[in-house]
Amino acid sequence: MRWFFIFAPMKLLAYPITAIYFLFFGLTLCLFHPIQWICLNVFGYDAHKRSVSILNWFLMRCLNILGTRFTFRNPHHIPTHRPLVIVSNHQSMYDIPPIIWYLRKHHPKFVSKKELGKGIPSVSYNLRHGGSALIDRRDGIQALSEIGKLGQYIETNNRSAVIFPEGTRSRDGHPKPFKPAGLKTLLKNAPSALIVPISINTSWKLLRYGKFPMGLGCHLTFDVHEPFSNSGHHDDLIAQVEKIIVNGIKIA
């Protein structure tokens, strides 16, 4: 009963603050949609990439309205002259802006479900035109084909591919078993890539009440683990990266 009196007022307070957050979130997406279009169609890839990085900095600032804090720990020197396969657990859509912002010099591209490729200002435009892979999770052949193309793209252009091998987000922070097919396809098509594991914590608490209201005062942490080469048996590499990521997840 004591916990009810502590958390019930927080949830009530979350309603108006979440409404304010969504107002600024929506305005940010609508503002950056034409900015992205102009950057890409007038100035080219580099300008578009910068606009996407700045967009995600603003999306993080919108989350600050909810009292959200971010800690991104990356003690490693990760080279920019070779491709990366960034592998992470997945707790919410809010995992994405910090990865894009803090790893912006590595040009991160995402493996994303195709439904996100339409209907969302800024987000859908970037997914369609920024180099990411849009996959149909009900069509394994199409999904692996698109992931393979992404692997070839990062191999050729020294970009980064971000993949969440759990396949769907964890609603309580507990990691789900990896689905290895997509990650294995990336590794096969980007043989010179470094594998970069990331453990994400507390992102799921932003959705502790569902989509509305959102959780207040969350501290999201991102721990970048030591990268290692894409060399050896792919099944062993996937088991290694899964173990590293899971060991970095703290359930609280």
pLDDT per position as a tens digit, 19-45: 999 999 999 999 999 999 999 999 999
pLDDT for 7 = 53
**Single-letter amino acid code for the residue at 29:** L
pLDDT for 167 = 85
Lookup result for tokens 């290694």: 240
pLDDT for 162 = 98
pLDDT for 3 = 43
Helix or strand or coil: residue 30?
helix
**Would you give the DSSP letter of residue 8?**
H
Q: Beta-carbon neighbour count of residue 199 at 10 Å?
A: 20
- What percent of the chain has a predicted confidence (pLDDT) above 90? 90
pLDDT for 5 = 44
Average pLDDT score over residue span 67-82: 96
Whether 205 shows a pLDDT value over 50: the answer reads: yes
Whether 128 shows a pLDDT value over 60: the answer reads: yes
98: preceding bond cis by omega (within 30 degrees): no
What band does 55 get if pLDDT is binned at 50, 70 and 90?
very high
pLDDT for 9 = 75
pLDDT for 168 = 85
Please give the span between the terminal C-alpha atoms of the chain, in angstroms, as a whole number. 20
CA distance 207 to 215: 6
The token pair at 167 is 């396949």
CA distance 147 to 153: 10
Exposed e or buried b per residue across 122-147, where buried means at least 16 C-beta atoms within 10 angstroms of its C-beta: bbbbbbebbbbbbbeeeeeeebbebb
CA distance 80 to 245: 22
Whether 108 shows a pLDDT value over 90: the answer reads: yes
Whether 4 shows a pLDDT value over 80: the answer reads: no
CA distance 88 to 40: 28
Average pLDDT score over residue span 64-89: 97
Assign domain 2-247 to a CATH class: alpha beta
**Averaged confidence pLDDT in the chain:** 94
Lowest-confidence segment of 5-19, 26-40, 104-118, 214-228 by average pLDDT: 5-19
Give this prediction's pTM: 0.94
Average pLDDT score over residue span 58-77: 97
What band does 1 get if pLDDT is binned at 50, 70 and 90?
very low
CA distance 163 to 159: 13
What band does 10 get if pLDDT is binned at 50, 70 and 90?
confident
CA distance 218 to 25: 17
Residue 138 Cα distances to 52, 114, 142, 175, angstroms: 29, 10, 9, 22
Residue-wise pLDDT tens digits, 11-24: 899 999 999 999 99
User: Where are the domains positioned within the chain?
Assistant: 2-247
